[in-house]
Amino acid sequence: MTNELLDRALVEEATKKSGLIWVRGAGAPAARALWHVWHEGAACVVGDGPGEQPLPGLADGSAAEVTVRSKDKGGRIVAWSATAVELAPDSEAWEAAVAELKGKRLNAPDGEAMTGRWSRECRVVRLEPTGATMSLPDGSLAEAPLPSAATTRQPVPAGLPRLLFKGRKRR
């Protein structure tokens, strides 16, 4: 009984303090990083709408695996199993969860109208802990990036040093 209470406290505190959680829904090929809020004993997420995060495999009543990372170091702290519960738009539970989510949503394109858009076009899902924690994997779960034409490193243009040091005089 004591271990169960300690596990529940660890899940709650770690999830409250973390800005992101990694969630793998039923049938999803890999876990996704999702922003969330901890509200009334569960992690609440919003998504699956235009401009919002995707929620693959998080159907109402499905199982999910949640991994919580440390906010300061980024390492895994705890992994726990959850049941996904989709909240009905404009219900009392939905309103309470959205009030919390609204304060955490950064850079919303529609500002105050975002809750109306969430009601029409998005899903709000509660990830309710089942009480079971899972053992953390030993190795890295990093995957190779997908092939892309995008690049971050290019040679410095030949004229750039002249432009940067044009106004400076050496003494």
142-166 confidence digits (pLDDT tens)? 777 767 777 777 777 777 777 777 7
Per-residue tokens: 19: 């800005």
15-67 confidence digits (pLDDT tens)? 999 989 999 998 888 889 999 999 999 999 999 988 899 998 999 999 999 99
Average pLDDT, the chain: 87
Q: Which residue has the tokens 């969860």?
A: 97
Per-residue tokens: 103: 């304060």
66 phi and psi angles, rounded to 5 deg: -120, 130
| pLDDT of the residue at 97 | 95
Q: Which domains does the chain have, with CATH numbers?
A: 2-145 (2.30.110.10)
Single pTM value for the model: 0.79
Query: Hey, which bits of the chain come out as E strands?
Result: 20-25, 32-35, 37-39, 42-47, 63-69, 76-87, 123-134
| pLDDT of the residue at 79 | 94
Please provide the size of the chain in residues. Answer: 171
Query: Mean of the pLDDT values across residues 66-84?
Result: 90
Q: Identify residue 34 by its one-letter amino acid code.
A: L
Question: Order of strands, edge to edge, in the sheet holding 32-35?
Answer: 32-35, 20-25, 63-69, 76-87, 123-134, 42-47, 37-39
Res 11 pLDDT > 80:
yes
Q: Helix, strand or coil for residue 115?
A: helix
Q: Helix, strand or coil for residue 3?
A: helix
Q: Is the dihedral of CA 34, 13, 67, 61 positive or negative?
A: negative
The more confidently predicted of residues 48 and 72 is 48
| pLDDT of the residue at 14 | 93
| pLDDT of the residue at 169 | 62
Please, which pLDDT band fits residue 167 given cuts at 50, 70 and 90?
low
113-141 confidence digits (pLDDT tens)? 899 999 999 999 999 999 888 888 777 77
